[in-house]
Structure 1
Amino acid sequence: MTRLLPLLMLCCALAASPSRAQAPAADAGVELAKPEGMSVRVAPQQVRIGDPFVYEVVITHPKDHRYELAVPQQTGDFEFLDQTRQRQDGPESATTTFRVRMSAFALGSVEVPALPFDVSTPEGPRRYTAPAQAVEVTSTLPPDADGQGADLFDYKPPEEVPIRSWRLVFIVLGALAAAALAWLLFRWWKNRPKHQVVVPRLPLDVRTRKALDALKAEDLPARGQVKEFYFRLSEIIRGYLGEQYAFEALECTSSELMASLRRMHTPGLPEDALMRFVSESDMVKYARAEASAESCRASLTFGYTLIDQTYVPPPPPQASDNAAAPRVQ
């Protein structure tokens, strides 16, 4: 009986431990990619809190596959700074190396979030997720800070600060402004023109090109406003795609945008180029990545190319059955 007791305890422990062979669940409707090889490393392994480190992922895959990093929306205790991507093709396969620079804001052994990838294959889009890694995060204070008399204070709770209020003055001014606006509206309504000329709306491709020309003329990257440039350019391209294919592109996230377009009939749509633009613009807008002037020009050129390859003018309106037939002279 005493010999059976350790065996029973071992069986119970194995039954209670979670299985490590379970694969992560794939995104609904998207299959998982299977690279030929993959290696992950974090350098350096120990960093001070707030200091940058590099999360490197090296993926070996077929030459007709393309891997693009999808920046996670929720990064927890980490901040994504920038990323680089390098691809090297060999005779039988290709190797793509991603280097993501980030910083941590939690002490101790912290797990770096797993990196998801969008994979373009001849069979269709796939997904792949690189495994998470651990990094040791240390404090910026020296080990003998307490012995040297360093006083550490926690964050103070918010305190009420008395501020002089101009609320009554603003209310009076607002009432006067409302009265003046009402009087002006009455004068306009009384003297309004009886017949108004309706200017026809320009076609979608003409309006989009005008918006791109206006953005190009402002030359925001030369003035150091790269983030504002990508926000404006992304809004123009999303507005064009939403009106061209009749869906709410401006309200979609980057992954929702690509998923919606893949479900539609989009002849001529450069999916790989669009995915690269979406990934680059997200890194600049949300991860504070740097973009060169050449990258900004290439992104603007992509907007014109997208119109040339995808715009289809709407069919002309059909004549009504009740329309009068033309008279023969």
Structure 2
Amino acid sequence: MIAALCLVGLFAAPDLGVATGTTPPPAQAAAPAVGPPPEVTVTCAPEPVRVGEPLVCTLVAVHPDTMSVTVPLPSGATEVSAMDVSAAATTARTDGKLSTLRRFALVPKEPKATLKVPAVTVSWQESAGGVGALEIPARKVAIKRLLEGADSAEPRTFKAPGGEAEPFFEAHGPVVFIKTNWALLITCIVVLATAVGIGLGWLIKRFLDARRRAALPWVDSRPAHVIALEALEQLAAERLPDQGRVKEFYFRLSEIVRLYLERRFDFAAREMTSDEIRAHFSPREPTGPKLCSPQAHLAIEDFLSETDLVKFADFAPMDSAADTAMRASRGIIELTRPPETSDVPEPRKGDER
């Protein structure tokens, strides 16, 4: 009885849906594409390519906007960053279609005749679910040789030529033995070094002279009385007393006269006090030499006294005192200026009758 029940359960198990380790049915394959494939073009540059120079290939697929295109990187190629394109990029065209672009590079490393660009498989999927694939066949690009005109690209050696030596030297010419003329070589070096030294010395001298000339202040070469009279004319034209700038007028007037005395008699009048200037014009001995006439000496003393009162004692002169001081300064210049020499030659004693 028990054995019969076991046999019934064994044969009834598949019908009751008991799992027996069977595999599920395979998934349904995608439908093939219905529309036409995309328009694919491949261009490579430069052609021919040199060894070690990257060959950049650009793949462009033009397709409608209802299609998505995938362009994988071929085997043996590396990504090329061209502008902002580092992978497959899709952009819109003016005719309403899309353009998918992919750039990759191949670098020839051996001096072969051609470089093989591997095949590229372009796959796409339509919006309705259809898929398709298009294989771009491989192509070859010529490799430009670095040693143009050479029979072989193999490296050359310095081994002795094979065969007999006499025919070889007759074909290529005799071996030239160079003998160094040390005396001539040393003479040329000495002459060249001397010329370079003279040239450098001349350039350094010109540079130092230019710096010296630039550092020296400009000096007016005109006579002292001409410069002083011109400065007095400019000061009078400014009419400082009429503007209430009396003290400034006396300071500048005193500076003009002191500068004139300094240039005329060659002493530092602008750095001296009035008493030192008076002592400079006074003879050390009663019978000693005098720099100027007594009248000019008296005019200088009066001028210094009057200007010191206004400059340092806050003395307020009258309105007409400025004109008087201006005339006094001109008088000092006229009394102390050098005499004018006549250009007419004096008659000789033999010519006088």
Q: Into which bin does the TM-score normalised by the smaller protein fall? A: 0.3 to 0.5
The structure with the largest strand share of the pair is 1
TM-score normalised by the chain length of structure 2: 0.32
- In terms of Rg, which structure is larger? 2
